[in-house]
Amino acid sequence: MKLTWLSDIHLEFLTMDRARRFFARVKQGRPDAVLITGDISTATELRHHLRLVAETLSCPTYFVLGNHDVYSGSFAKVDSVVGAVCRDFPRLHPLGNGEIVPLTAKTALIGHRSWADGRAGLGKRSTIRLNDYTLIADFRELDQDVLFARLQQLGDESAAYIDGVAREAHKKAETLVIGTHVPPFTEVALYEGQPSAPDLAPHFVNVPSGKSFVCWPAIFLRRNSSSCAATLITPLFTSRHPTSR
């Protein structure tokens, strides 16, 4: 099974010709499936860029969205666009709705876009205002308290989703491949090659996902298996977390 991983491809910065050539090169690698972990495009261009992915690649493509994919839009509108395009192209598979995708007899793929929960680093004391908070309609004009309450809600929801689906997936799979857009640990949420500074970390890290992730081996090993492993794939973090007894 050859799974090709792409992330932060930002097709909005490419001409359509260059985007086609990029996916033609991906196709030359003859993947059995492709996983894209967010920041594919922006809300205004996501529809035709997803169509381009489906029309260019002949294998199943699994994906989660990133923050940039919602720029100039809202969560609801973007989710509607994704649903419509994926109905037209059965090879496109958004992750985050309970999917457990068998990759091999012992390996499964799950995923969720995840979201930074605002708790890492300085937390609510951060003075950073990302473009997200202007360009995503759901965040626009929120004051600091309301914004961080919303970030915590989104972060908690995504962490709970990943934790619940991972537990279910491990009933059948020894190894999980987990695709998200947001890293679970500050130490690996890199900015310009270094771990995020305390004022940036609240906007780049999903703390509750990290807490769940480090607890999984002890939980999974109680399910009558001799070993377990999780490979968590995000744009800034790729780690294999094995445990055996």
pLDDT in tens, 2-46: 999 999 999 999 999 999 999 999 999 999 999 999 999 999 999
For the chain, the three-class secondary structure string (H helix, E strand, C coil) is CCEEEECCCCHHHCCHHHHHHHHHHHHHCCCCEEEEECCCCCCCCHHHHHHHHHHHCCCCEEEECCCHHHCCECHHHHHHHHHHHHHHCCCEEECCCCCCEECCCCEEEEECCCCCCCCCCCHHHCCCCCCHHHHECCCCCCCHHHHHHHHHHHHHHHHHHHHHHHHHHCCCCCEEEEECCCCCCHHHCEECCEECCCCCHHHHCCHHHHHHHHHHHHHHCCCCCCEEEEEEEECCEEEEEEEEC
Tell me the mean pLDDT in the region 241-245.
34
pLDDT digits (tens, 9 = 90+) for 150-160: 999 999 999 99
Q: Length of the chain, please?
A: 245
Q: Is the pTM of this model over 0.85?
A: yes
- Give the residue range(s) of CATH 3.60.21.40 domains in the chain: 1-94
CATH code of the domain made up of 1-94: 3.60.21.40
Q: How far is CA 59 from CA 39, 40, 94, 114, in A?
A: 20, 18, 14, 25
Give the residue from 223, 218, 224 showing the smallest Cα distance to 242: 218
Position 174 scores a pLDDT of 85
Confidence of residue 232 (pLDDT cuts 50, 70, 90): low
pLDDT digits (tens, 9 = 90+) for 75-113: 999 999 999 999 999 999 999 999 999 999 999 999 999
